[in-house]
């Protein structure tokens, strides 16, 4: 039986009071361990107030109008990033298309879910929800507590998507989207960064990502 992600009303909410954490990894996600283990997570929803969510001040109009460029690839997807962003590659050598703001902290990654980690006899029924649960478990295996990982059902590129996001001990966030592109491929998109940039980066992905 599939584990069910908790539904969260907001497309992106983070409990800033969660314990702080270490090194995000935006490599190609895998399905190990099996998603069923997610059933061990807490079922109660996190209750948030406006005070729990910190939003950065609105950028000046000149910054909002900054030039952007389209990055990505067919079969993986495209997103618009600021013209000043540069290509980035994690040291683990994963196959994601990645762009960053010039630092190794604020990064957008585009990929597809790595089905090689899914047992062959399970691939036919493996869907975006299974992939999201696998990403959830990967975060827990990275050392995050159950309270530091959250999930939501959202819309991305006019498709239903599952969003999983976690707060690491060093104060950085990793936000992942998993969605079925309708052609049998599960798309993977992630945004990572510190509190000072993560909200703008998430908004950029949500507003500009296309299949």
Q: What is the pTM of this model?
A: 0.71
Give the residue-averaged pLDDT of 148-163. 96
35-54+67-208: CATH superfamily: Mog1/PsbP, alpha/beta/alpha sandwich (3.40.1000.10)
pLDDT digits 0-9 by tens, 164-202: 999 999 999 999 999 999 998 999 999 999 999 999 999
pLDDT digits 0-9 by tens, 73-113: 999 999 999 999 999 988 775 789 999 999 999 999 999 99
Q: Residue 193: beta bridge partners?
A: 173
Give the residue-averaged pLDDT of 19-48. 40
Enter the tokens of residue 133.
Answer: 């649960």
- Which residue is it, tokens 């069923």? 36
Query: End-to-end distance of the chain based on CA atoms, in angstroms?
Result: 29
pLDDT digits 0-9 by tens, 126-142: 999 999 999 999 999 99
Closest CA to 70 of 211, 184, 208: 208
Three-state secondary structure call for residue 107:
strand
């Amino acid at each position: 039986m599939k584990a069910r992600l908790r539904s969260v009303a907001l497309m992106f909410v983070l409990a800033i009071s969660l314990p702080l954490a270490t090194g995000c990894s935006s490599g190609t996600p895998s399905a190990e361990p099996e998603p069923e283990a997610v059933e061990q997570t807490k079922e109660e929803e996190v209750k948030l107030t406006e005070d729990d969510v910190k939003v950065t001040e609105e950028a000046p109009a000149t910054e909002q109008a900054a030039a952007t460029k389209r990055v990505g690839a067919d079969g993986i997807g495209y997103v618009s990033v600021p013209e000043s962003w540069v290509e980035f590659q994690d040291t683990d050598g994963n196959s994601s298309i990645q762009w960053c703001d010039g630092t190794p902290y604020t990064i957008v990654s585009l990929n597809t879910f790595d089905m090689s980690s899914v047992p062959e006899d399970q691939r036919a029924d493996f869907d975006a929800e299974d992939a999201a649960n696998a990403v959830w478990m990967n975060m827990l295996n990275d050392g995050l507590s159950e309270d530091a990982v959250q999930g939501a059902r959202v819309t991305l590129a006019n498709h239903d998507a599952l969003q999983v996001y976690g707060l690491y001990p060093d104060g950085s966030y990793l936000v992942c989207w998993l969605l079925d592109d309708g052609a049998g491929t599960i798309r993977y998109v992630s945004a990572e960064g510190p509190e000072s940039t993560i909200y703008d980066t998430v908004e950029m992905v949500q507003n500009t990502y296309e299949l």
